[in-house]
């Protein structure tokens, strides 16, 4: 249980840090806060989340009938997914 309220938090450089959540301010151990613990519990250790923008992957499905542009988007999405998976594998995720 937390007694009181955190009114402000200052980082190592003396900069006021916001926003502060309970998960960010409660530490499970000296190196891991609750937010990090919850993330690892949800996604597991060694999980790689693909950043769609970074890998050039576009969201959405085209409407039929498919156009030539739709096929190009699908092909580029497949290439982006494959590059992301290759990267994650190389980093031992």
pLDDT tens sequence across 18-59: 666 667 777 888 888 788 888 777 776 667 889 999 999 999
Q: State both tokens at 69.
A: 């542009």
Is the pLDDT higher at 72 or at 31?
72
pLDDT of 20 reads 63
> In the predicted model, what is the mean pLDDT of the chain?
82
Q: Which residues of 45-55 are buried (b: 16+ CB within 10 A; e: fewer)?
A: eeeeeeeeeeb
Query: What is the dihedral sign for C-alpha 29, 33, 35, 36?
Result: negative
Interval 49-71 mean pLDDT: 94
Taking 80 as the threshold, does the pLDDT of residue 10 lie above it? no
Whether the Cβ atoms of residue 32 and residue 39 lie closer than 8 Å to each other: no
Proportion of the chain above pLDDT 70, given as a percent:
81
């Amino acid at each position: 249980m937390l007694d009181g309220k955190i009114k402000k938090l200052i980082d190592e450089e003396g900069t006021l840090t916001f926003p502060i959540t309970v998960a960010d301010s409660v530490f499970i151990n000296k190196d891991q806060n609750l937010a990090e613990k919850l993330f690892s519990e949800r996604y597991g250790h060694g999980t790689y989340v693909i950043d769609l923008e970074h890998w050039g992957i576009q969201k959405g499905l085209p409407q039929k009938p498919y156009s030539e542009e739709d096929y190009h988007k699908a092909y580029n999405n497949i290439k982006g997914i494959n590059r992301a998976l290759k990267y994650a594998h190389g980093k031992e995720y």
